[in-house]
Amino acid sequence: MAQNNKRPECVLGFYQVVEQPNGEMCGGVLITSHLGRPIEFQCSLPVRPNATQQTLYGPTLRPFLIGELIAKALKDRLQVLPDVLFVNQPEALNNQTWNSIPVLCSTESVEAMFQQDFREEHYWVASNQEKDVTKILEIMTKYVPDSADLQEPLIRVEQALKEAMGQAA
């Protein structure tokens, strides 16, 4: 299938990290058009902190791994940066990692969040990105069909990561 190298008007990103029972983590970013068609996929190698790292990092280990180490490695490899990045793990909200990319985190369905007038209890953005809520709403209103299921790409990323981690084992 021949692909058009022209960047779509609106590009969405979906970042997910999967954690195995043994503590291993693997992250992935799926970049799609506003219609959900894949443009690019990147995944990290599995990362497993050792006991010393767990002790030294304490409660900051998970946010470090998800929001900095894995996320930065993936972002640096992306050929196409998204206009908006969707995540479902609050630890993924990191100002230094994503820079100017608006990141929206919701543990509820994105559709329900938008149907409820974008109330604060349904989403999180990084502290320096409060102004980006307006930009996110404009992008969503202008480009993303009302019927779009924005949780589904996160499920695709999770499934791809689980497959990759299973093959790596």
Q: What is the pLDDT of residue 119?
A: 44
Is there a domain that residue 122 lies in?
A: yes
Is 59 domain-assigned? yes
Quick check: is 72 in a domain? yes
Question: Which pLDDT score, from 0 to 100, does residue 167 have?
Answer: 66
What is the pTM for the complete model shown?
0.84
In a domain, 1, yes or no: no
Q: Are 55 and 49 in contact (CB under 8 A)?
A: no
In a domain, 68, yes or no: yes
Classify residue 93: in a domain, yes or no: yes
| DSSP character string of the chain | -----SPPS-EEEEEEEEE-TTS-EEEEEEEEETTS-EEEEEEPPPB---HHHHHHHGGGHHHIIIIIIIHHHHHHH-SS--SEEEES-GGG--HHHHTTS-EEE-SS-HHHHHHTTT-GGG-B--GGGTTHHHHHHHHHHHHS-TT--SSHHHHHHHHHHHHHHHHH-
In a domain, 2, yes or no: no
1 pLDDT above the threshold of 50 = no
Q: What is the mean pLDDT of the chain?
A: 83
Q: In terms of residues, how long is the chain?
A: 169
pLDDT at 100 over 70: yes
Range(s) of the domain holding residue 134:
11-168
Each residue's pLDDT tens digit, 43-62: 999 999 999 999 999 999 99
For the beta carbon of residue 112, count every other beta carbon within 10 angstroms. Answer: 11
pLDDT higher than 60, residue 122: no
Q: How many domains does the chain have?
A: 1
Burial category of 134 from C-beta neighbours within 10 Å (exposed 0-12, middle 13-18, buried 19 and up): exposed
Beta strand 84-87 with 103-105 is parallel
38 or 7, greater pLDDT: 38
- Is the residue at 41 inside a domain? yes
Flag whether pLDDT at 162 surpasses 50. Answer: yes
Confidence band of 16 (pLDDT split at 50, 70, 90) = very high
